[in-house]
Amino acid sequence: MTMAIHPVFVHFHTGILTANAAIALLNLIMRTVFRDRIRTPGTTMARLFHEFDTFILWGNIIGLLGLVAGVVTGFMDWPMQALIDDPYMRFKILWSAIALEIFVFLVVMRLKLGDRVWASTSSYLIYGILVVVGGVLMIILGAMGGIAVYSDSILKPVLDWLGLPWP
């Protein structure tokens, strides 16, 4: 009897990247609303902002590794033709590849720039928004995996309303 190993690899990184999106949203708000207090060393706000930034960095690194493992095991578990015939799987393949690109970009840029990634407006908006976009993608892809296995998901009405999966 063959065993599916993809399910073992999909839950942890989906969770951490979703949490990352929430923290990034919080950091974006803090960076915009409490800009002066964040820039003042020693304040609680500055410390919290720094902790969140570190959380996002490690979350992205761990999430990226998990996402790679999820993609590899996904292709190992099911024949390609079966995946392509299913609209949910087609959507997952396409947007997992794009999510991979986004998280590679986020990790590389954060490692290269350090916390200067939050310094200029154009830089932190790109970084923060892409962390949120990546997290939302993971939520959608996770829901589709759930639908493929259990025929239902708490997000199914939302996906139906959005007309997803497409194409």
Partner 1 sequence: MKRKQRANLIGVFLFVGIVMGLVPFAFTFPGNTNECNQCHTDLASLGLSTNATETVDIEVGVPFVVEFTADNGAEALAIGTDWEDNEQFLISDNLVEDGDGEDTDATEGVITTSVTFTPIAVGEFTIRAWAAANLGRAVSIDVTVNVTEGATTFTTPPPTTTTTPPPDPLIEIWTMMMYTLIPATAVILVILSVIMLRKAPKD
Binding site for partner 1 (CB under 8 A): 1-4, 75, 77-82, 84-85, 87, 90, 93-94, 97-98, 101-102, 104-105, 108-109, 112-113, 116-117, 119-120, 122-123, 126-127, 130, 148-151, 166-167
Complex with partner 1: residue 40 or 121, whichever CB lies closer: 121
Token couple for 50: 């720094």
Least distance in Å: CB of 5 to partner 1? 10
Least distance in Å: CB of 42 to partner 1? 21
Select from 17, 27, 23 the least CA-distant residue to 125: 27
Cis peptide bond upstream of 7, omega within 30: no
Rounded CA separation 57/8 (Å) = 23
65, 71, 72, 75: CA torsion to nearest 10: 170
Question: 3-class DSSP state for residue 150?
Answer: helix
Token couple for 120: 């200029």
Q: Is the dihedral of CA 106, 100, 18, 4 positive or negative?
A: negative
Least distance in Å: CB of 117 to partner 1? 7
Complex with partner 1: residue 42 or 167, whichever CB lies closer: 167
Complex with partner 1: residue 51 or 85, whichever CB lies closer: 85
Least distance in Å: CB of 156 to partner 1? 14
Complex with partner 1: residue 44 or 160, whichever CB lies closer: 160
